[in-house]
A and B are shown apart, each in its own frame.
Chain A
Amino acid sequence: MNCLLCHSPYNPIASWRQLLLLEEPDVLCPRCRGTFAVIRGRLCEMCGRLLEEAAPSVCADCLRWQEDEQWGRALVKNRSVYLYNDWMKDVVALWKFRGDYVIVEAFRRPFVQAFRRHFGRDWCIVPIPLSPERLHERGFNQAEALARLLPSPYFPWLSRKHSEKQSKKSRRERLETDNPFFLADHPPLDGKRIVLIDDIYTTGITVRHAARILLEAGAAEVGALTLVRA
Chain B
Amino acid sequence: MYIPPSTAASPLVVWLNGQRLPREQLPFPDGEVAAAIQTGSLCEQPGLINTARGWRCVRCGNDDPYLFASFPCARCGSDCAYCRKCLVMGRISSCTRLVHAALPLPYGRYEAPLSWDGELSAAQAEAAQTVRQAVLDRRELIVWAVCGAGKTEILFPAIAAALEEGWRVGLATPRVDVVRELAPRFQRAFPRVPLAVWHGGSDERGQIAPLVLSTTHQLLRAYRAFDVMIVDEVDAFPYSVEPMLEYAVSQARKERSSLIYLTATPSRAWQRDIARGKRNAVVIPARYHGHPLPVPVFEWCGNWRKRLERGRLPENVFSWVLQRLEQGKQAFLFVPHIDELETVVRLLQRVDARIVGVHAEAPDRAEHVQAFRDGRVPLLVTTTILERGVTVPNIDVAVLGAEDRIFTESALVQIAGRVGRHAAFPGGDVRFFHHGKTSEMVRARRHILRMNEEAKKRGLLCS
- Point out residues on A near B: beta carbons under 8 Å: 2, 94, 98-102, 135-136, 138-141, 145
| Pairwise interchain contact B87-A139, C-beta atoms closer than 8 A | no
| Pairwise interchain contact B74-A140, C-beta atoms closer than 8 A | yes
| Pairwise interchain contact B71-A139, C-beta atoms closer than 8 A | yes
CB-CB under 8 A from B73, the residues of chain A are 139-140
Best-buried of A94, A100, A101, A145 by chain B (most CB within 10 Å):
A101
Closest A residue to B87 by beta carbon equals A98
CB-CB under 8 A from A139, the residues of chain B are 71, 73-75, 80, 91, 93
| Pairwise interchain contact B91-A140, C-beta atoms closer than 8 A | no
Interface residues contributed by chain B, number (CB under 8 Å): 15
CB-CB under 8 A from A94, the residues of chain B are 87
Q: Is B2 in the interface zone, CB < 8 Å from A?
A: no
Give how many A-B residue pairs fall within 8 Å (CB-CB). 38
CB-CB under 8 A from A101, the residues of chain B are 69-71, 82
Known contacts A98-B88, A100-B84; decide if A140 and B72 are in contact (CB<8 Å). Answer: yes
A–B complex contacts, Cβ < 8 Å, 18 sampled: A94-B87, A98-B88, A99-B71, A99-B87, A99-B91, A100-B87, A101-B82, A102-B70, A102-B71, A102-B84, A136-B74, A136-B75, A138-B74, A139-B74, A139-B75, A140-B73, A141-B74, A145-B71
CB-CB under 8 A from B87, the residues of chain A are 94, 98-100
The CA of A96 and the CA of B66, in the complex, are separated in Å by 20
CB-CB under 8 A from A99, the residues of chain B are 71, 82, 87, 91
Best-buried of B71, B73, B93 by chain A (most CB within 10 Å):
B71
Closest B residue to A105 by beta carbon equals B69
Which B residues from 132 to 188 make CB contacts under 8 A with A? none
CB-CB under 8 A from A100, the residues of chain B are 69, 84, 87, 91
The CA of A135 and the CA of B84, in the complex, are separated in Å by 20
Q: 13 new A-B pairs (CB below 8 Å) besides A98-B87, A99-B91, A139-B75?
A: A2-B66, A94-B87, A98-B88, A98-B91, A99-B87, A135-B74, A138-B74, A139-B74, A139-B80, A139-B91, A140-B71, A140-B72, A140-B74
Which B residues from 76 to 91 make CB contacts under 8 A with A? 80, 82, 84, 87-88, 91
CB-CB under 8 A from B72, the residues of chain A are 140
CB-CB under 8 A from A145, the residues of chain B are 71
CB-CB under 8 A from B74, the residues of chain A are 135-136, 138-141
The CA of A94 and the CA of B85, in the complex, are separated in Å by 12
CB-CB under 8 A from A135, the residues of chain B are 74
The CA of A101 and the CA of B72, in the complex, are separated in Å by 9
The CA of A138 and the CA of B71, in the complex, are separated in Å by 11
Q: For the complex formed, measure the closest distance between the CB of B100 and the CB atoms of chain A, giving whole angstroms.
A: 22
The CA of A102 and the CA of B87, in the complex, are separated in Å by 12
Q: For the complex formed, measure the closest distance between the CB of A14 and the CB atoms of chain B, giving whole angstroms.
A: 19
Best-buried of B66, B72, B88 by chain A (most CB within 10 Å):
B72
Which B residues from 16 to 49 make CB contacts under 8 A with A? none
Q: For the complex formed, measure the closest distance between the CB of A125 and the CB atoms of chain B, giving whole angstroms.
A: 16
Q: For the complex formed, measure the closest distance between the CB of B338 and the CB atoms of chain A, giving whole angstroms.
A: 10
The CA of A157 and the CA of B270, in the complex, are separated in Å by 62
Closest B residue to A98 by beta carbon equals B87
Which B residues from 282 to 296 make CB contacts under 8 A with A? none
The CA of A2 and the CA of B72, in the complex, are separated in Å by 23
Chain B window 386-422, contacts with chain A (Cβ cutoff 8 Å), 1 for yes, 0 for no: 0000000000000000000000000000000000000
Closest B residue to A130 by beta carbon equals B74
Closest B residue to A138 by beta carbon equals B74
Q: For the complex formed, measure the closest distance between the CB of A94 and the CB atoms of chain B, giving whole angstroms.
A: 7
